[in-house]
Structure 1
Amino acid sequence: MKKYLYSVCLVGVIVYSCKTQQTTTTTTETSTITANLTKEEMLKKGEDLFNLRCGRCHDLPKPSDFTVEDWKPIMASMAPKAKLNAEETNWVLAYVNANAKK
């Protein structure tokens, strides 16, 4: 019985360590991709995410409906609901800020 428990624990540790390494690799790859994006490409990605993820649950406001300062708390509260990671949140925030009310 002890051998069985040790085997199960060992398999769990191996699976966990593989999953952690995969996540780290993906984050590094995404950071590299972001570093190579032009401003226009980042704004386009932000617009696409805004339309796709934010429009999934409710009608979209126009970015020009709010100021840059108004968008900060809106994005802080809505990004987790839209399941945006940090980079995606930055892309959407860059898009709405670029088109925000002056």
Structure 2
Amino acid sequence: MDNYNINDFNEKAEILKVLAHPVRLCIVKGLADKGQCNVSHMHNCLNMPQSTISQHLQKLRAAGIIKGERNGLEINYSICDKRIYNLIKILFEE
């Protein structure tokens, strides 16, 4: 067996844990498809309170999966980890 770096496995497990929630997975899938989006648009698509969406966005941001860029009063979110695009593509391929 090769020498594995347990920190690599911990990092990847944390990413998978954060993505392992239906709402967060839906947000990330939407960002992968659309490129970027703001909370208002997500609110309209997901039909849930903005505060709930914001909590999920914070967890995704803390895990380094997404980033937010301020544009006036809005923050546009996008995926900042290229591995996530590949993962979403694999998960949702038909």
Q: TM-score range by the shorter chain?
A: 0.3 to 0.5
| Larger of the two Rg values belongs to structure | 1
Would you tell me which structure has more helix in proportion to its own residues? 1
TM-score, scaled to structure 2: 0.32
Would you tell me which structure has more strand in proportion to its own residues? 2
